[in-house]
A and B are shown apart, each in its own frame.
Chain A
């Protein structure tokens, strides 16, 4: 029974309803963790993993077609490259502006502590890492689940031949 459901896409109606109700909140929580990563527990890694979990939740609940509409493979690959390039681009900009690789060029004063912009480039780094982790983990899950469907198709073919 579950096999048919996972191939044709989606679980039962109950799971879909709960998923719709919950997914936005998890997404917003992930974004919060990324943006306030330098002021509270969290950061690029935790936020990125939670954002990836949102997409995997949608993939498991609604099946392959729905997630391909939201996030095609090309777009996921693009987002991952964007994260890596953003990380490196900021690092090169720091080299150009301040003369040292990975040196924070946005100065922070004691008055600006505990504000959103107090971290300078740390905020941009967090966003870059979150993008990278999110797209990368999502891609790997997508490929693994696709392969499973193909494998089951092969088994069916073999059974039919016999």
Chain B
């Protein structure tokens, strides 16, 4: 039952992303993107990941705001025709190679719903006593693997600094 619902939502996500990429109007493609994100959040909820579903909903709203504020009132005549022949052919070759490699990788995956990493048992058994945190995800990101969070904070900081630096020079010139 769970599997069927996830398959249905995934098919809808694929449909939404195709609409987002092929639509002629930029605004409608951004809105289709929002639909894709909310369906992803629903899938996270079904997959028993409430933390991530919560973050995904809010992040999706913020992404929509960013994209709409960046694109609206710009680019009235959208470009719809494809690229030149040679780059397009090269890209198709790249996509084909990726497809073959990914299909091979997917074939060797364990079945859906069976693969649990070995370290997960340790975390689940001892997480409460080691860290005192009832939410095991929190205990992983902030105690067992806090270095990961430290690196994440650094990447976030770097990305924000990059965005602010790219956008700031014009403001000073004015």
Interface string of B46-83 (1 = CB under 8 A from A): 00001100110011011001100110010000000000
> Could you say which of A114, A120, A153 contacts B134, with CB atoms under 8 Å apart?
A114
B59 to A, closest residue via Cβ: A49
Q: Which of B134-174 contact A (CB under 8 A)?
A: 134-135, 137-139, 141-143, 146-147, 149-150, 153, 156-157, 160, 163-164, 167-168, 170-171, 174
Inter-chain contact A102/B168, CB cutoff 8 Å: no
Summed over the interface, the residue pairs from A and B with CB atoms below 8 Å come to a total of: 134
Instruction: Judge whether A102 and B133 touch: CB under 8 Å.
Output: no
Q: Could you tell me the distance between the alpha carbons of A11 and B131 in the complex, rounded to whole angstroms? A: 47
Instruction: Say whether A8 faces chain B, with CB atoms less than 8 Å apart.
Output: no
Contact flags (1/0) for A133-153 with B, using CB distance below 8 Å? 100110111011111101011
Q: Which residue from chain B places its CB closest to the CB of A44 in the assembled complex?
A: B142
- State whether the Cβ of A9 lies closer than 8 Å to any Cβ in chain B: no
**Across the interface, which residues of A come within 8 angstroms of B128, CB to CB?**
113
The answer, yes or no, to whether A61 is at the interface (CB within 8 Å) is no
Contact of A108 among B132, B135, B167, B171 (CB under 8 A): B132
Contact of A43 among B62, B135, B163 (CB under 8 A): B135
Q: A residues within 8 A CB of B4?
A: none
Chain B: how many interface residues by the 8 Å CB criterion?
A: 41
| Cα A110 to Cα B128 with chains together (Å) | 9
**What is the total number of residues of chain A having a CB less than 8 Å from a CB of chain B?**
53
CB of B129 to closest CB in A, whole Å? 7
Contacts of B59 in A (CB 8 A): 49
Contact of A46 among B55, B73, B150 (CB under 8 A): B55
Q: Indicate if the CB atoms of B133 and A119 lie closer than 8 Å.
A: yes
Indicate if the CB atoms of B62 and A150 lie closer than 8 Å. Answer: no
Q: Which residues of A contact B163 (CB under 8 A)?
A: 140, 143-144
Contact, CB under 8 Å: B62 / A122? no
With A136-B160, A144-B66 known as contacts, the answer to whether A38 contacts B134 (CB < 8 A) is yes
Bound complex: CA A114 to CA B70 (Å):
44
Contact partner, A146, options B54, B131, B132, B171, Cβ 8 Å: B171
Residues of B within 8 A of A (CB): 50-51, 54-55, 58-59, 61-62, 65-66, 69-70, 73, 128-129, 131-135, 137-139, 141-143, 146-147, 149-150, 153, 156-157, 160, 163-164, 167-168, 170-171, 174
Which A residues fall within an 8 A CB radius of B? 3, 33, 37-46, 49-50, 52-53, 56, 60, 80, 84, 87-88, 91, 102, 104, 108, 110, 112-114, 118-120, 122, 125-126, 129, 132-133, 136-137, 139-141, 143-148, 150, 152-153
